[in-house]
């Protein structure tokens, strides 16, 4: 127990117009049994009271630092990656072993980070870890099914060496920065693991901030193509979602439509050919395993 409490970590939270949720997220962090060495909250051009709420807590807790920046006019995944990169450059004066991305609409138990840090200490090959996520959907919180070697973007916690190895988050126009990060971690020989015994609650569906859920589904299709998903994997993953995720048939159909649109337009893939080859091999192996 004493060894775990000596572990040092930092958190980075890009936040834009999160006044509805950020107070709950801050309360979850300040209640942790192991507090971060530094928590940088990047108030990214908010037009609501996000900055004021965060600053109120920063005035009461020395480990919280609020940085107000002027970024892109529109909320997008590229601005999130840039905000994380900017914040990471502000912590050169801090000694830490782990770095976490934490969205501003997440809540969890007081021992959450202690439990995840313990997993890192037990396995020196573990580069990226986190709990399992429940997203707030129309009919309440729903478990987001992911493979055990995947960690949801809103709660990714990295070993610092792993984060440096992959170069942090890549700026991507249609999202997928979390997927690219974890795939890159595996490419670099690190293990990625989620732990179902540790739950976190995401108070909105992923990718729906500032846009409709229908647009979010279409953009997911664009994302899948631009980061290199294999078409067979997109199809195999999407069919079960027709019956499991709202808006059911329309959501899965919009995913497919977005992917096919990107294929037709031959949209640029910002990731390397090596990355695409590695990812598609992983996905084809998973498909073969499903057929056995």
Q: Name the residue ranges covered by the structural domains of the chain.
A: 2-202, 213-287
Choosing among 3.90.550.10, 3.40.50.300, 3.30.1600.10, 3.50.50.60, the CATH entry for 2-202 is 3.90.550.10
Question: What is the pLDDT tens value at each position of the chain, 292 positions in all?
Answer: 446 778 999 999 999 999 999 999 999 999 999 999 999 999 998 999 999 999 999 999 999 999 998 755 555 557 889 999 999 999 999 999 999 999 999 999 999 999 999 999 999 999 999 999 999 877 778 888 788 999 999 999 999 999 999 999 999 988 899 999 999 999 999 999 999 999 999 997 654 455 567 788 889 999 999 999 999 998 887 665 555 555 555 677 888 899 999 999 999 999 999 999 999 999 999 898 777 6
Q: How many CA atoms lie within 13 A of 43 on its CB side?
A: 18
Tell me the whole-structure pTM to 2 decimals.
0.88
∠ CA 212-132-49, nearest 5°, is: 50
What is residue 51's three-state secondary structure? helix
């Amino acid at each position: 127990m004493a060894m775990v409490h000596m572990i040092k970590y930092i958190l980075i939270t890009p936040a834009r117009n999160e006044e509805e949720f950020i107070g709950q997220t801050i309360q979850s962090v300040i209640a942790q049994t192991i507090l971060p060495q530094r928590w940088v909250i990047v108030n990214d051009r908010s037009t609501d009271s996000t900055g004021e709420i965060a600053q109120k807590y920063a005035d009461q807790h020395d480990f919280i630092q609020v940085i107000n920046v002027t970024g892109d006019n529109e909320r997008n995944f590229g601005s999130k990656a840039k905000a994380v990169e900017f914040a990471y450059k502000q912590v050169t004066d801090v000694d830490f072993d782990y770095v976490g991305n934490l969205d501003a609409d997440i809540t969890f138990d007081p021992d959450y980070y202690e439990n995840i840090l313990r997993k890192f200490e037990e396995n020196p090959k573990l580069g990226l870890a986190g709990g399992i996520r429940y997203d707030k959907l129309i009919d309440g919180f729903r478990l987001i099914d992911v493979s055990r070697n995947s960690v949801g973007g809103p709660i990714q916690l990295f070993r610092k060496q792993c984060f440096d190895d992959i170069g942090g988050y890549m700026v991507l126009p249609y999202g997928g920065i979390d997927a690219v990060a974890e795939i890159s971690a595996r490419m670099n020989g690190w293990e990625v693991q989620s732990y179902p015994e540790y739950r976190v609650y995401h108070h909105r569906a992923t990718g729906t901030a500032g846009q409709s859920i229908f647009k979010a589904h279409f953009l997911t299709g664009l994302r899948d193509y631009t980061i290199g998903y294999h078409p067979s994997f997109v199809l195999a993953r999407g069919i079960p979602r027709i019956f499991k995720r709202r808006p059911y048939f329309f959501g899965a159909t919009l995913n497919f439509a977005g992917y096919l649109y990107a294929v037709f337009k031959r949209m640029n893939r910002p990731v390397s050919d090596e990355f695409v080859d590695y990812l598609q091999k992983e996905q084809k192996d998973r498909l073969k395993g499903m057929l056995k």
